[in-house]
Structures are given as structure tokens and as C-alpha cells.
């Protein structure tokens, strides 16, 4: 099947003019074109059927060959891929797929609109990142990609322009799972190898490993791309400028980052091995390797400090493919943006190297391969410090309890920090280095991790610190709300959610969480109204549909509960609670066979789910089966 490879800009403008007069899918009004790729056009639209006309992104996929057989195959594969995207959209750092439809033999995806700045605005040619900055980036990308791989999906196009730093909470969002890639190939996976059965090479030059060029990507192909992303940031060189070893075909990159620690270099080397069998098999294994690096600070103390990166790279806001003032990033990258915005304010958490000043210019300190590799100067040339010092001679160092620093006083070389006791944990040490805006974002992420671990008092204290740092940081208030709900303090939770909504006008997650608090208080009608509002604001949010169904069942409105929970199941079929609520509602309506089927499905997902076991036992006692 063929696709348009080039979209004429003049024709685009004419099409856009006509599209602005038409409602796509009967509900989406085109505002403007965002970008064009080899297979698609992307538009910013508003949904006129929902209150407040929320914005979203429409990707139009064009099929050049429109004979019946080709269209039928495209339609089948498109629908299959859309189901995958619905499932992936349940992750908070992947844009939710809100709708997919066909109109006039064209295919359309409606996706969540992400306000943020693309990562290729920060990864600039000739400007290497520090090691700490690279490790934090790799960990965040691999955390998202681990989820993708668990869903048996290979992204196949990891690169800077497909990562967006979201303005709302500073988190990275992975985009461009475009169904167009699956339309041109089979989406089926080999259960043993993890490879997709495809015959067309899909991806971006420089980020594609050998097997992907051959049309046989594995999960480790994505690991390769993430490794290349790290090497690009670490060296400041576009991957197409990196040479290969003529004998082994391995990428020769270390000479461009001579200060990199041996431990991180070893991980990156394994991520980008020429033979896919020598790489980490999935993102999860690569993530674990990064998390097990011997020095959790990766040279942070004494060499780096965090700053706020305002208004995108070089003071500019995010840009889109084709923008004349887009930041130069080396050889052109094919990009098919799926969800991004043009908000001119961009605040992201990025560390930058602290310049070491001397009469002979600046020079970065040598990086240590691990905490145990830090070596002190001879006693006559060093000074052991136990407090925070300013600039002395050639170096600036930081101190926190338990850390001892060696400082070169008069020599030409920069200071080399060494470890006299345990390295302080990353969360603690970064707290003294971050400005207020970035400290709030960093602490909120730490609070999220603590909350997910069930450490609610610690999480609440961390969110409180984030709010102290920046009182209008909406994500921190939302974290407080969710934690207070877990602690069974719903009145305080409602106040926290109201604070989040006061600082962020569009925050469906906060609306839903406020509904959870109202439900916990027993105010079911108030909770229902909030869940319905969340459904309108973000139709793709599975949890809000489930909440709505659960409350409707509590209110005795079982038929409506089934309709709501069916919406939840359509977005996530692997929820034991959703199937159980459906079973309870059908049982109330005396649809006993349906209730039993729903209970069995719930127990297949979670054999120990109590409410489902109770429903099945009720069926046995009442019906004798």
C-alpha cells in the first residue's frame, strides 16, 4: 500500500481553508495546521460537542491507493492499532487517544493535546549535557518505554522530537505511536522474539539499529534508540556524525565524551550494541542497569547545579516542523508530531554544568566512575571542608551532612571531590540546589513515587515541601489531594484539589480526585457530577468512567452504571474492579448470566479480588452454581 511521501505546502493551505469550514467527524472544528509528515497531516482542533470546547489534536492519515482491497486492509489494521493506542493512553506520560474514525476514505486519530516543548529544542548540536542530566533523561524515558513494552508494543521511533516536556508538571511525554506505521505493516508480534512481522523499515536514520533497517524490529531496537539519545546528549553530536568501528560495527562515541564515567559508558555501550542479542532485551532491563549504577549522584556534587530553563531553548518557545526559527539540531529528522502545543512559556527541570573559573579559562572537573572512585588530592594540596564554601581558587563546592569535599587551592587543575562517608541520596541533595520552580517539580515527582509505594505520611510531607517552594504549583496540590484521600482525610483532600484547580484551569485529574474525596465523604451526587465533568473534559480517562459507574451503582441506577462501566472497559479490559462493578449492576437487574460472566472475567484478571469473589459466592448460594 502506498502513501503520500511529500505534502505540498500550498495544497495544504487550500485544504486547511476548506477543512476550517467542515466539522471532522461531525464534532472537531479545525483551528490550524500543526505539522506535516511523510504519511499524515496534524491539526489543532476544538471539540464543539463538549463543554468549554476543549482542544485536541487530529492526525489525518492519507491512503493514496484507494482500491477496495487496500482500503479494507488499511481499515482493519487502523482499527487494530487504535485499540493499542487506547490501551497505551492509560499511561499518564502518553497522550490519550480520544477517538478514531474514518471519513471520506480518510482515517483520523483524535488525541490529547499536550502543552509543552519538544526535547529537540534542548538537545542542541555542539552543546553536550552533563552526565547527571543524561542519566535523569534516560531513566525517565525508559520508565515510560517499560510500560509500552509490557503492552507488547514496539515504538520504533524514539528520538528527541518525539519527547515533549509537559508544561503542567514538567514530565516528559512520549508521542508518535501513529497508527500509520501499523497501517503499512502487520501489528502482530512474535511471542518468542518480541519482533513485529513487518517488511518495511520504519523509523529515523541515526536512531534505527541494523535489524530495524531490515524491517524486523525487536524491543531492544527501542533500547538502541534510547541509548543513541543518551549518547547524542552526552556528546553534543547528531548520531549520523558518529563513526562506526570498521571491524565490529559498534558505534565509536567515547572519544567525544572522554569524561564520562566507565559505569555509565558501559550501560550505553550495551544499549547500542550492533547485534540486538547483545543489548538489554527490553527497556525494563536497561532501566534497572541505570538504577544500579554505583554512584547515584553521577558527579552532581561540586560539578553541577540546577537552573530553570525558561521559555524553551535560548529563550524561545516550542516550535513545530517547518518553523524557520527552529533550533538547529544537526541533520534533519523526520518528524510526525501527534500532540503538542505552542504555549510560549516552557519551564523544565534541566541540570547544567557549573563553570569552574581560573586564570586559564574554564574547564570541567574530571568525572568519577563511581562514589568509590573519587580520589583526594595529597594532603598538602587539599583542604577538607565541612561546610558550604564559596569560590576558592579554582573551584566551587557544595556540602551537605555526611559529605566531605577536597578542593584544589592554587594548582591549575580543578577540584576533585571525594567521598569520606555515604553519598547523600539524590532527592536530599538536589533539594539544596534547585531554584523554587524546579524544586517544586522535583519534590512533586518524589512525592508521587512515595505515594505509589504506599508511604503516605512521607509523600504528604514531600508535597508540603513542594508547595512551600512554589505555592502555585498545581501538581503538588493534586498530589496532596490524592495522598489525603489515601489517608482517609477527604475534607482536607477537597481543599487541596480546589487549590490545584485554582492554579490550573484545565486539570481533569484534579476534578476526578475531588470526586473521589466527595465519594469518600458519602456525598455521592456531588461525586457523580464531578465524574461526569471529568468524562467531558477527558473522555479517554478510564478511571473516571469506572468511578462514574461505581457511584451510579451505589445510587441504585444500575442501567446507567452498566453504560458507564462499559465505557471504562472499552478503554481498559484488564480492570478487575470494572468487571466486578458490571457484574454487580447486572445482578441487580437480575441478568444473572451476565453477572456470573463478569465475575469470572474479574477473577481471571485478579484471582484474589474480594468483591468479585463475593459476587461469585452470592451466585452460587442464590442460583446453586
User: Catalytic residue numbers?
Assistant: 157
- Produce one character per residue of 274-309: b if its CB has 16 or more CB atoms within 10 Å, e if not: bebeebbbbbbbbbebbeebbbbbbbbbbbbbbbbb
| Closest CA relative to residue 183, chosen from 316, 80, 97, 52 | 80
For residue 62, what is the DSSP state?
-
Q: In the chain, how long is the greatest CA-to-CA distance?
A: 90
How large is the angle between the packed helices 542-554 and 508-521, nearest 10 degrees? Answer: 20
- The secondary structure element, H or E, covering residue 252 is strand 251-252
- Provide the grid cell at 69: 482491497
45 close to 31: Cβ distance less than 8 angstroms: yes
Q: What is the DSSP secondary-structure string of 231-247?
A: HHHHH---GGG-EE-TT
Question: In angstroms, rounded to a whole number, what is the distance separating the alpha carbons of residues 388 and 168?
Answer: 34
Secondary structure (3-state) at 426: helix
- In degrees rounded to 5, what are phi and psi of residue 17? -60, -40
In this structure, are residues 292 and 317 in contact, taking their beta carbons and an 8 Å threshold? Answer: no
The cell for 272 is 547500542
- Cα distances (angstroms) measured from residue 262 to each of 55, 140, 141, 257, 426: 46, 21, 22, 11, 20
Task: Write out the DSSP string of 33-52.
Answer: EEEE-SSEEEEEEEETTSTT
Which residues have CB under 8 Å from 428's CB, separation 6+?
400
Cell numbers at residue 110, please? Answer: 483524535
Q: How far apart are the first and last CA of the chain?
A: 52
Burial letters 142-165, b for 16+ CB under 10 A, else e: bbbbbbbbeeebbbbbbbbbbbbb
Displacement of CA 340 from its chain's centroid (Å): 13
> Cβ neighbours of residue 400 under 8 Å, at least 6 residues apart?
301, 424, 428, 429, 432
User: Which of 288, 295, 304, 302 is CA-nearest to residue 423?
Assistant: 295
Q: How far apart are CA 221 and CA 207, in angstroms?
A: 9
Amino acid at each position: 500500500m502506498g502513501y503520500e511521501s511529500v505534502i505540498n505546502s500550498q495544497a495544504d493551505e487550500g485544504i486547511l481553508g476548506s477543512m476550517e469550514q467542515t466539522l471532522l467527524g461531525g464534532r472537531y472544528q479545525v483551528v490550524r495546521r500543526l505539522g506535516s509528515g511523510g504519511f499524515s497531516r496534524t491539526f489543532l482542533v476544538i471539540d464543539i460537542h463538549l463543554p468549554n470546547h476543549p482542544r485536541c489534536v487530529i492526525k489525518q492519515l492519507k491512503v493514496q491507493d484507494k482500491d477496495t482491497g487496500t482500503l479494507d486492509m488499511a481499515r482493519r489494521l487502523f482499527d487494530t492499532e487504535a485499540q493499542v493506542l487506547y490501551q497505551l493512553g492509560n499511561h499518564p506520560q502518553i497522550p490519550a487517544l480520544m477517538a478514531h474514525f474514518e471519513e471520506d476514505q480518510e482515517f483520523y486519530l483524535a488525541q490529547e493535546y499536550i502543552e509543552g516543548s519538544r526535547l529537540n529544542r534542548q538537545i542542541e548540536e555542539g552543546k553536550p549535557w552533563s552526565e547527571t542530566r543524561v542519566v535523569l533523561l534516560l531513566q525517565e524515558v525508559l520508565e515510560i518505554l517499560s510500560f509500552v513494552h509490557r503492552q507488547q508494543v514496539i515504538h520504533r521511533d524514539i528520538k528527541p522530537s518525539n519527547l515533549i516536556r509537559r508544561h503542567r508538571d514538567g514530565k516528559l511525554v512520549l508521542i508518535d505511536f501513529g497508527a500509520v506505521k501499523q497501517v503499512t505493516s502487520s501489528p502482530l508480534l512474535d511471542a518468542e522474539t518480541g519482533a513485529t512481522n513487518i517488511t518495511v523499515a520504519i523509523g529515523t536514520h541515526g536512531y534505527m539499529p541494523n535489524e530495524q533497517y531490515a524491517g524486523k524490529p525487536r524491543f531492544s531496537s527501542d533500547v538502541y534508540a534510547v541509548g543513541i539519545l543518551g549518547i547524542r546528549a552526552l556528546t553534543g553530536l547528531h548520531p549520523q556524525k558518529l563513526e562506526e568501528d570498521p571491524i565490529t560495527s559498534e558505534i565509536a562515541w567515547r572519544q567525544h565524551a572522554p569524561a564520562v564515567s566507565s559505569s555509565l559508558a558501559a550501560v550505553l555501550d550495551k544499549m547500542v550494541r550492533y547485534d540486538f542479542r547483545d543489548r538489554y532485551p527490553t527497556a525494563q532491563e536497561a532501566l534497572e542497569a541505570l538504577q544500579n549504577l554505583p554512584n547515584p549522584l553521577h558527579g552532581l556534587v561540586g560539578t553541577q547545579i540546577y537552573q530553570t530553563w525558561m521559555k524553551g531553548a535560548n529563550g524561545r518557545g516550542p516550535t513545530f516542523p517547518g518553523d524557520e526559527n527552529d533550533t538547529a539540531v544537526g541533520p534533519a529528522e523526520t518528524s510526525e508530531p501527534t500532540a503538542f502545543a505552542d504555549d510560549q512559556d516552557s519551564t523544565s527541570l534541566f541540570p547544567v554544568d557549573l563553570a569552574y573559573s581560573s586564570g586559564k579559562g574554564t574547564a570541567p572537573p574530571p568525572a568519577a566512575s563511581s562514589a568509590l572512585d573519587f580520589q583526594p588530592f595529597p594532603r598538602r594540596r587539599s583542604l577538607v571542608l565541612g561546610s558550604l564554601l564559596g569560590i576558592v581558587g579554582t573551584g566551587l563546592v557544595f556540602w551537605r551532612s555526611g559529605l566531605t569535599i577536597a578542593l584544589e587551592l592554587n594548582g591549575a587543575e580543578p577540584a576533585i571531590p571525594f567521598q569520606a562517608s555515604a553519598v547523600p541520596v539524590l532527592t536530599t541533595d538536589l533539594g539544596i540546589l534547585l531554584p523554587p520552580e524546579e524544586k517544586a517539580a522535583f519534590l512533586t515527582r518524589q512525592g508521587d513515587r512515595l505515594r505509589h509505594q504506599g508511604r503516605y505520611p512521607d509523600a504528604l510531607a514531600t508535597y508540603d515541601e513542594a508547595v512551600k517552594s512554589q505555592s502555585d504549583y498545581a501538581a503538588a496540590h493534586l498530589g496532596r489531594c490524592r495522598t489525603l484521600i489515601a489517608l482517609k482525610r477527604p475534607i482536607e483532600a477537597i481543599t487541596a484539589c480546589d487549590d490545584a484547580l485554582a492554579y490550573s484551569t484545565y486539570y481533569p485529574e484534579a476534578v476526578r480526585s475531588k470526586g473521589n474525596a466527595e465519594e469518600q465523604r458519602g456525598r455521592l451526587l456531588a461525586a457523580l457530577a464531578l465524574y461526569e465533568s471529568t468524562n467531558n473534559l477527558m473522555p479517554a480517562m478510564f478511571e473516571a468512567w469506572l468511578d462514574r459507574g461505581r457511584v451510579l451503582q451505589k445510587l441504585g441506577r444500575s442501567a446507567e452504571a452498566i453504560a458507564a462501566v462499559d465505557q471504562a472497559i472499552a478503554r481498559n479490559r484488564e480492570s478487575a474492579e470494572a468487571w466486578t462493578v458490571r457484574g454487580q449492576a447486572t445482578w441487580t437487574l437480575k441478568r444473572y448470566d451476565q453477572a456470573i460472566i463478569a465475575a469470572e472475567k474479574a477473577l481471571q484478571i485478579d484471582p484474589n479480588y474480594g468483591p468479585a469473589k463475593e459476587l461469585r459466592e452470592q451466585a452460587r448460594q442464590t442460583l446453586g452454581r
